[in-house]
Amino acid sequence: MTLSLPSESSSVTRARQVLTTLLSLTNAPEASRGDLAVLITEACANAVIHADRDSSVDITIVIDDDACLLEVGNRGRTPDSRRLDAGLPDPLTVGGRGLPLIAALADTAAFVTGPPDQVLLRISKHLNGVPDPAGR
């Protein structure tokens, strides 16, 4: 599923609700669902905070039998102002609590190359607590 939401705080709640609804259609354990709710909340909140004025927050959610892939993009900047293949800032003390929570709960998380002028955070989480060797 792909969503394009306005860069406003209510979009964080909407994104979390969509993900929660999609996960309710799966056999994902409650712990994984909770982690994913936190992941999309923090990623979307960061996208809203760091987005360029009047831009959207673009979200892709892919759920298969074993894993969930979240991509959250916006026209804006990464916390350390890098835009391409930035990984997560090291140390994870840039900004607030969002990136440390994402790093702790995700199997993988990195800023990746996306469309021009867009910051794209890609997060993967295995639904049964066992990381996917392919990084999905």
Q: What is the pLDDT of residue 71?
A: 95
What pLDDT, on the 0 to 100 scale, is given for residue 91?
47
Write down the pLDDT at residue 89: 52
Predicted pLDDT of residue 26: 93
CB-CB contact of 132 with 69 (8 Å): no
pLDDT at 124: 95
Domains of the chain: 2-126 (3.30.565.10)
The residues near 6 (Cβ < 8 Å, ≥ 6 apart) are: 56, 57
pLDDT digits (tens, 9 = 90+) for 33-85: 999 999 999 999 988 888 887 889 999 999 998 999 999 998 866 555 544 34
Q: What is the tens place of the pLDDT at every residue in 73-126?
A: 988 665 555 443 445 555 444 556 777 888 889 999 888 877 777 888 999 999
pLDDT at 51: 80
What are the distances in angstroms from CA 11 to CA 41, 43, 110, 121?
9, 11, 22, 16
Quick check: 73 and 47 in contact, CB under 8 A? yes
Q: What is the mean pLDDT of residues 13-42?
A: 96
- What's residue 34's pLDDT? 96
